[in-house]
Chains A and B, each alone.
Chain A
Amino acid sequence: GNSVTQMEGPVTLSEEAFLTINCTYTATGYPSLFWYVQYPGEGLQLLLKATKADDKGSNKGFEATYRKETTSFHLEKGSVQVSDSAVYFCALYNFNKFYFGSGTKLNVKP
């Protein structure tokens, strides 16, 4: 079947620290992979995506590489800001359905 597993939060970092949020997936075929971000009181917004193996998605300083050999799509950012505090969801799209992870809450302290 298809599923996404991401690290549990909350993750608390100081401003300018390095961020990694782990995401692994199980899927048949060739899914597309996504990271979505949810700010307090808002809906989910696309952060970045990758549609095939070895693709790197990037946006706003965040990046993630589609690793088929390890079935992973880890989210990274070199220097987080307080404004990055949000919940981050890893997701995959396969056979007309989206599958979301449980979300990882990130708190960035000044």
Chain B
Amino acid sequence: DAGVIQSPRHEVTEMGQEVTLRCKPISGHDYLFWYRQTMMRGLELLIYFNNNVPIDDSGMPEDRFSAKMPNASFSTLKIQPSEPRDSAVYFCASTRDRGPSGNTIYFGEGSWLTVV
């Protein structure tokens, strides 16, 4: 399996620009998660989807952030307008519901965002 695929791998953008991060989960996984990692706050869950439906977006920091999952193999996280404090590594992750036997969450390699 190819694993979780994220793009772009690195992005540098100017404040005020729109940023779109993309994710392709592992085939057959019905849960998709977006996390943000910073030195100050560690790993934060932003939003997660089940069967393409957003279930919990309580971690999305502001209205500037939005996420969509139009189909089972694609999701986007958009920041508009971007601000320097949005600079972080954004991880996409996916898993498949295995019930009581426990799940393993698989992470992509991250999108390293710098807003200047």
Question: Taking beta carbons and an 8 Å cutoff, which residues of A are in contact with B?
Answer: 30, 32, 34, 36, 42-46, 49, 51, 89, 91, 93, 96-98, 100, 102-103
| 14 residue pairs A–B, Cβ–Cβ below 8 Å | A30-B100, A32-B102, A32-B103, A43-B4, A43-B107, A44-B107, A46-B106, A51-B100, A89-B43, A91-B105, A93-B103, A96-B55, A98-B103, A100-B43
Find chain A residues with CB under 8 A from B102 CB: 32, 49, 51, 93
A46 CA to B105 CA, complexed, in Å: 8
Q: How large is the interface on B (under 10, 10 to 19, 20 to 34, 35 or more residues)?
A: 20 to 34
Q: Are A96 and B42 in touch, CB under 8 angstroms?
A: no
A44 CA to B92 CA, complexed, in Å: 10
Find chain A residues with CB under 8 A from B50 CB: 96
- The residue in chain A whose Cβ has the minimal distance to the Cβ of B109 is A43
Chain B binding surface, main DSSP class: strand
A102 CA to B39 CA, complexed, in Å: 10
- B108 to chain A: closest CB distance in Å? 6
Find chain B residues with CB under 8 A from A43 CB: 4, 91, 107-110
Listed from nearest, the 9 A-B pairs whose CB atoms lie closest are A32-B102, A51-B102, A43-B107, A102-B42, A44-B107, A43-B109, A100-B43, A43-B110, A98-B105
B71 interfacial contact with A, CB 8 Å: no
B14 interfacial contact with A, CB 8 Å: no
Q: Are A42 and B43 in touch, CB under 8 angstroms?
A: no
Question: Taking beta carbons and an 8 Å cutoff, which residues of B are in contact with A?
Answer: 4, 31, 33, 42-43, 45, 48, 50, 55-56, 91, 93, 95, 97, 100-110
- The residue in chain B whose Cβ has the minimal distance to the Cβ of A51 is B102
Q: Are B103 and A97 in touch, CB under 8 angstroms?
A: no
Q: Are B104 and A49 in touch, CB under 8 angstroms?
A: yes
- The residue in chain A whose Cβ has the minimal distance to the Cβ of B101 is A51
Find chain B residues with CB under 8 A from A97 CB: 45, 48, 56
- A102 to chain B: closest CB distance in Å? 4
A42 CA to B9 CA, complexed, in Å: 10
Find chain A residues with CB under 8 A from B48 CB: 97
Find chain A residues with CB under 8 A from B105 CB: 34, 46, 91, 93, 98
